Every structure is written in C-alpha cells, then in structure tokens.
A and B are shown apart, each in its own frame.
Chain A
Amino acid sequence: MKKEKILIVDDEDNIRTLLSDMLSMKGYTVATAENAEKALQEVKDFSPHLVLLDLKLGKSDGIDILKQIKKIDRSIVVIIITAYGSADTDLNEIRFGAYGEIAKPFDLNVLEKVVADALESSTRRSEE
C-alpha cells in the first residue's frame, strides 16, 4: 500500500469518482472536493502530497486556487486538468507552481504515469 495522499478537485461528479476509483486501485489514498472552498479545506485537513485540479470550478478562478494551495504548502504537487485542450496551456499555471497539465479526455496510463513521476520528483526534491 502506497502512502501518498491525492486530492481530486473537479466539479464533475463522474470525473471525481473515475479518478478516485482509478487512483485508489493503484494504492493511493484519495480525497475529493467539488468546489474551491472545500478544496482548500481538504488541503489543510487531509494534507495531500498531490492535487489534481480542474481549473474551471464554477465561478472560482483556477489560478487563484492554485496560488492559495501553494501558499498553504509549497511542497504540494499540483497537476492541472483542463477541458480546453492541451494547446491552450496558460504559462501562468506553470509560473504559479503547477507541475504540469493534462487535457481531458485523458489516457489512464498517461495520467497514472504523470502522477507517479510527479510524486517521485517531489520526493526526490524533498530528500535532497
């Protein structure tokens, strides 16, 4: 059993359960949040190692949530999920500390690999 904790933030119920099913099957401990407020609460309570963050959460500004997560704990790895296609990557996301971006709909293998790589790189960084 892996000990890494992952927080899934998406306002779409079906996507939260999909990611949650898939990542828990891989052995991660998973929590979910459907809005910005709940997401920030979970960041504090659940202290995830990694957050999968949908930038489009109702009225909230995704970049703003990203900044706030990083403010609470800089070491949390954030991967952005976007429904606007990969070509639309806003460099701001990277500038504000996101690890990377995955476009919907995603290949499960790719997502699993990106998550594993991101966690590994952060572990390495914290060990150095």
Chain B
Amino acid sequence: MPADKSQNGCVVAPHVLVVDADGALKNSLQPLLTPDYKVWHQPSVAALFNDIRNKSISVVVVNEAAVAFDQDGFQNWLRSYPLPVAYVLAIRDPGAQAVAGRVAKGAYDCVDAGRPEQVAMAVRHGFRTALQEHQIRALAEKCAAQSAELSEEKGLKISLLYEASRITGSVFHLETLLKMIIHLITNVMKVKICSVMLLNEETDQLEIKEAIGLVPEIMQATTIKRGQGISGWVFKEGQSLLIGDIDEDGRFMGRNEERYMTKSLLSVPLKIKDKVFGVLNVNNKTDGKPFNEEDRRVLEPLAAQIAAIIENAQLIDHLTTAKTEVKKAHDQLIRSEKFAAIGKLAASLSHEINNPLTSIYGRIQQLLRSTVDPETIRLLSVVKSEVERISRILGNLLNFAKIAKTKTQLHDLNVIVDNSLNLLLPEIKKSNISLVKDFNKKLPEVLIDGDQFMQVAINVMLNAVKAMPKGGELLISTSQDEEWIRLSVKDSGCGIDKNKLESIFDPFYSNWTDGSGTGLGLSVSKGIIEGFGGDIEATSAIGRGSTFTIKLPYKS
C-alpha cells in the first residue's frame, strides 16, 4: 500500500475513493486528479467504511448512476469519524431538486456522472473545504480547552466557550457568525453593549461590523482611526484595556459620551499572531458593576478564538466567491462553446438544405408559369409559399450563427430605435396604429452591436404591430436607472396567453397561428441581448396587449 503520509506526518497526496460499478468514472477521473490526488476504486459501497479508514480517504465519489447508496446511513457514520471526509455524488440527471436534496443532507456537491471534469472540480473543492472545516473545529476546541483552564468560574465560562466552538463547527458565513458570537457574549457575560470592530483596509479605519445595544445610526456613523479613543488605542497597541470608570479616563472622546452612555468598558484586540485586525468591545455590565480582571481573563482568550473564526470565515468567504466565479466562467464557456457549435451546424445545414431547396423552388416556379389550371396553380402556390417558409427558417438559423461574430461599439440607443421605427412606419400606417414615442433624450451610450440590436428592435416592434391588425396604440419608450438602460415596446393588441408567455423565447416556438413566424425571432433576439449582458422580458394580458422590455447594462 502506498504511504499517504511522509515521515513528518504531512499529507503528500490526499486519497480519493471512487465507488462505481465498472471503474469507468475512476479511469476518467484519474488523469484529471493525478498527481495531486491518489485515486482508488471500489465496485460497491459494501466495504466503504473500512476503505475510508484503512486507506485514509479524504474524498469519496459515489456514482449513484451505477451503484445504490444510502446517504443517510453514510452521513450518520461520517459524524463519528474523526478525520475530514468530503463526499461528492455523481448522478445521471443533476436537476436542481436532486442536487439540493443531496447537498442539504451533507454531500459536498452533486454533479453530472457523465461529466468527469465537473466531478474532478468538485473533488478538489470538496477536499479543501472539508480540511478547512476540520481545522476550524480543531482550533475552536483547542481555544475552548485553554480558556477553560484559565477560568476560575469554570461552569459558566466553559459553557460560553463550548457554545462558541459549537457555532464555529457549523456555520461559516462571517456575518451570521459575528451576530451569533456577539449575542452569546452579551448573554453570558451579562453586558448591555457588545461590538466587533474590524479594520477597513481601504480607509485604514475601524468600523463597527456587528453590535448589540447600539443603534444602527451609531454603528454606521462610527469610524475610528488608529490610536483614536479607546478602540483606536487597543487596535494600535494590540493590548486589551480595562476601564472601571470611564469618567476618570482621558482617552475616551468626550463628545461620544452621551451617545454611547458608557460607564465601564473592556476592550480587547482581535489578532492572529501579531497582526491586529479588529477590536472586541463590551460595555456596561447589566448589574451596574465595573469590569474586573476576571472578565478580562475570560474575554482575552475568547477574542483569540473569535479572531481565528473571523479569519477562517473570511477565507471561506473568499473561497466561496472564487468558486462561484469559476463556476460562472465555466458555465459561460460551455454556453459559448454550445453557441459556436450551433453556429457551425446552422451554417452547414443552411448550405446543404438551400441547394435542394433552390432546385425545388425553381422548378415549382417553372411549373406555375406553364400551367393555366386554377386548381394546379392553387396547389403549387401552397408548395411555393411553404418552400419560402423553409427558406426563412434557414435565414434565421444563419442569423443565429452570426450572433457569434459581433462587432460591439458605443451606440446611442435612441438613434437605433428611431432608425428601426422608420423602417416599420409603412406597416404601422397600414394597420392604422397610432405611434407614441417617449424617449429619454439623455441616455448614456451603450456597448452593443448596432446591426444586431436593430434586428432585435425591429423583431419586437414588428411583433407588436402584428398583434394589432385592427389598429391600436404602440408605445415605444426608452429609460434609464442606476444599472440599466431600457427599451420598452408596448402594444394594445390581442395579448399572449399566460401559459404561452413562458415559451415565447424558446427556439422554434411561434405564437403566430398563421404560419408567418419561424419560431426563431424572439429566441435569436434573446440570444443577442444576453450576449450584450442584458435581458429581454415580456408581460402580457389577454385583450389588453403585451409589453416587451429590453434592458442593457451601461457604465456611468
């Protein structure tokens, strides 16, 4: 058996166990994880617990598509296992519900069994996270033990410290953690005010992150420089400060006296090694007595523990953000790959179909020219118009392909909308529609491909016109808020049924029953707008009309 630990006990390569009927998943994971991980395989879960123990497994991958797995039972066993183990479940169809259920029960992640690269990524992240959780828990327990030794009133303080370590073992979000810790300190130490101040590295000033007993205005308004006041002094010196009676201490800023209403105070630095990054304050005991050295002996080790918790939570916050970003980039890549593939397919498909179509179309036209029989002309005309429809669909498919080749530059949206409207004016007049324009003349420029946007604008506006064959009102408006520029196209036409509204952006779905639609207009439009980082939405009421809103991001 290969040694998983070196002489000094440091882990060389974490072990991953893949439970899979035929070993195919293991074989595809191996090249993705080697040499960082050592990958093992088992055909069933029968010897799972022994394997984890004997091989010092850190990450378990179960291919649920191939083997039966009792997650509840495994989770129970895992609770009593002393070492960190993350497990990843690979399933055949990882829908949101299936994934959420498994992750809620304790799986690190649940991914597509057919995507080894996703499984590998989950293994890497899962291992790191499990290790971190384990380290935090160990640290918390160590702190608790040390604090307990220092404390004279053991019963009370031990409960506080164990409670704190219990929190650190289960919750990792920084804000939630701070809230719980402060709540705990307030209750157990019986103080009126408790606050955690952290250094804002950009401004180099202390800010109140969480507090109990302070009004939000004070929390938001209070910023303290290094060396300023009591917290500033504690932060600068890295030492705790016990003040029995505030009125007799010159370091307190007199003007804040009334707002804080502080009488007695204990302030301790939050530091890791020698780096101070915040201050923990407790003010005014509920029994009115001043703080004493005993309180300091409780709060100081607690502050050390809290510092570790905060640092770890910050690390995990960073990790989570990084993970989200990686996932986003990955999704985007998949989407753009899909898009490129569709583009290539569309181009070659269009070419292959257009050739026979040309022949059919040409011959039908020749037949039409050579016949005088009305019935034959009628039938041939149907065929001819259907061929034209195929051709339109192909044209749209080609447009779909061309979305990949965008030429973006800064444009005035109002100009593009106006140009598009001008092209539609004959249609608008013909249908007896009154046009109302409500443009925000001061729109900032947006980064888009002007031609493509025009295609979308025309498409949406033409739909509105088609929805009002017997006339109506077409309202075109542009507007702007802090984040988005909006183009809104509102008609007073027939409206779209609620259950059809969900499908109108799907490819090959057409709401027009007369065969005039190809079912690609709105899906192509959505693709284009999403390509610019925007979105397109529709609301509708039967008999009252529809509103399509296109929003685009801009930089102020």
Task: Tell yes or no: B395 within 8 A of A by CB.
Answer: yes
Q: Is the CB of B365 within 8 A of A104?
A: no
B interface secondary structure, majority: helix
A14 vs B357: C-alpha distance in the bound complex, in angstroms? 10
Knowing A18-B363, A108-B365, say if A83 contacts B398 (CB, 8 Å): no
The digit string for A1-20, where 1 denotes a CB below 8 A from any CB of B, is 00000000000101100110
Choose one: A14, A85, A107; the contact of B350 (CB below 8 Å): A85
- What are the residues of chain A within 8 A of B365 when measuring CB–CB? 107-109
A6 vs B363: C-alpha distance in the bound complex, in angstroms? 20
Task: Tell yes or no: A118 within 8 A of B by CB.
Answer: no
- What are the residues of chain B within 8 A of A14 when measuring CB–CB? 355-356, 359
Instruction: Report the minimum CB–CB distance from B384 to chain A (whole Å).
Output: 10
Instruction: Report the minimum CB–CB distance from A89 to chain B (whole Å).
Output: 12
- What are the residues of chain A within 8 A of B391 when measuring CB–CB? 105
A107 vs B395: C-alpha distance in the bound complex, in angstroms? 15
Residue of B nearest to A19 (CB): B362
- What are the residues of chain A within 8 A of B402 when measuring CB–CB? 87-88
Of residues 345 through 393 on chain B, the ones whose CB sits less than 8 Å from some CB of chain A are 347, 350-351, 354-363, 365-366, 369, 387, 391
Knowing A14-B356, A105-B354, say if A85 contacts B362 (CB, 8 Å): no
Instruction: Report the minimum CB–CB distance from B422 to chain A (whole Å).
Output: 20
- What are the residues of chain B within 8 A of A49 when measuring CB–CB? none
Of residues 103 through 117 on chain A, the ones whose CB sits less than 8 Å from some CB of chain B are 104-109
- What are the residues of chain A within 8 A of B399 when measuring CB–CB? 87
The digit string for A66-109, where 1 denotes a CB below 8 A from any CB of B, is 00000000000000000111011000000000000000111111
Task: Tell yes or no: A31 within 8 A of B by CB.
Answer: no
A22 vs B365: C-alpha distance in the bound complex, in angstroms? 10
Task: Tell yes or no: A21 within 8 A of B by CB.
Answer: yes
Residue of A nearest to B368 (CB): A108
- What are the residues of chain B within 8 A of A104 when measuring CB–CB? 354-355, 357-358
Q: Is the CB of A87 within 8 A of B357?
A: no
Q: Is the CB of A84 within 8 A of B347?
A: yes
Instruction: Report the minimum CB–CB distance from A20 to chain B (whole Å).
Output: 11
Q: Is the CB of B350 within 8 A of A18?
A: no
A107 vs B388: C-alpha distance in the bound complex, in angstroms? 10
Q: Is the CB of A12 within 8 A of B355?
A: yes
Size range of the chain A interface in the assembly: 10 to 19
Knowing A18-B363, A83-B350, say if A88 contacts B398 (CB, 8 Å): yes
Q: Is the CB of B398 within 8 A of A84?
A: yes
Q: Is the CB of A85 within 8 A of B358?
A: no
A117 vs B366: C-alpha distance in the bound complex, in angstroms? 21
Instruction: Report the minimum CB–CB distance from B107 to chain A (whole Å).
Output: 49
Residue of A nearest to B369 (CB): A108
A78 vs B42: C-alpha distance in the bound complex, in angstroms? 69
- What are the residues of chain B within 8 A of A105 when measuring CB–CB? 354, 357-358, 360-362, 387, 391
A56 vs B394: C-alpha distance in the bound complex, in angstroms? 17
Q: Is the CB of B362 within 8 A of A108?
A: yes
Residue of A nearest to B351 (CB): A83
A52 vs B399: C-alpha distance in the bound complex, in angstroms? 25
- What are the residues of chain A within 8 A of B394 when measuring CB–CB? 85
Q: Is the CB of A12 within 8 A of B359?
A: yes
Instruction: Report the minimum CB–CB distance from A31 to chain B (whole Å).
Output: 19
A106 vs B359: C-alpha distance in the bound complex, in angstroms? 9
Q: Is the CB of B358 within 8 A of A84?
A: no
A12 vs B347: C-alpha distance in the bound complex, in angstroms? 18
Q: Is the CB of A15 within 8 A of B347?
A: no
Q: Is the CB of B358 within 8 A of A18?
A: yes
Name the residue in B347, B350, B361, B362 with the highest tally of chain A Cβ atoms < 10 Å from its Cβ: B362
A19 vs B358: C-alpha distance in the bound complex, in angstroms? 10
- What are the residues of chain B within 8 A of A108 when measuring CB–CB? 362, 365-366, 369
Knowing A12-B355, A12-B359, A104-B357, say if A85 contacts B366 (CB, 8 Å): no
Of residues 18 through 66 on chain A, the ones whose CB sits less than 8 Å from some CB of chain B are 18-19, 21-22, 56
- What are the residues of chain B within 8 A of A19 when measuring CB–CB? 362
Q: Is the CB of A18 within 8 A of B351?
A: no
Residue of A nearest to B362 (CB): A18
Q: Is the CB of B387 within 8 A of A87?
A: no
Residue of A nearest to B387 (CB): A105
Choose one: B350, B351, B358; the contact of A15 (CB below 8 Å): B358
Instruction: Report the minimum CB–CB distance from A18 to chain B (whole Å).
Output: 4
Instruction: Report the minimum CB–CB distance from A108 to chain B (whole Å).
Output: 4
Instruction: Report the minimum CB–CB distance from B117 to chain A (whole Å).
Output: 35
Q: Is the CB of B359 within 8 A of A18?
A: yes
Name the residue in B350, B354, B355, B358 with the highest tally of chain A Cβ atoms < 10 Å from its Cβ: B358
The residues of B with any CB-CB pair to A shorter than 8 Å are 347, 350-351, 354-363, 365-366, 369, 387, 391, 394-395, 398-399, 402
A-B CB proximity, top 3 nearest: A105-B361, A83-B354, A14-B359
**23 pairs, CB–CB < 8 Å, chain A vs chain B:** A12-B358, A12-B359, A14-B355, A14-B359, A15-B355, A15-B359, A15-B362, A18-B358, A18-B359, A19-B362, A83-B350, A83-B355, A84-B350, A85-B394, A87-B399, A88-B398, A104-B358, A105-B358, A105-B387, A106-B358, A107-B361, A108-B366, A109-B365
6 additional contacts (CB under 8 A) given A84-B347, A84-B350, A85-B395: A12-B358, A21-B366, A56-B351, A87-B398, A107-B361, A109-B365
The residues of A with any CB-CB pair to B shorter than 8 Å are 12, 14-15, 18-19, 21-22, 56, 83-85, 87-88, 104-109
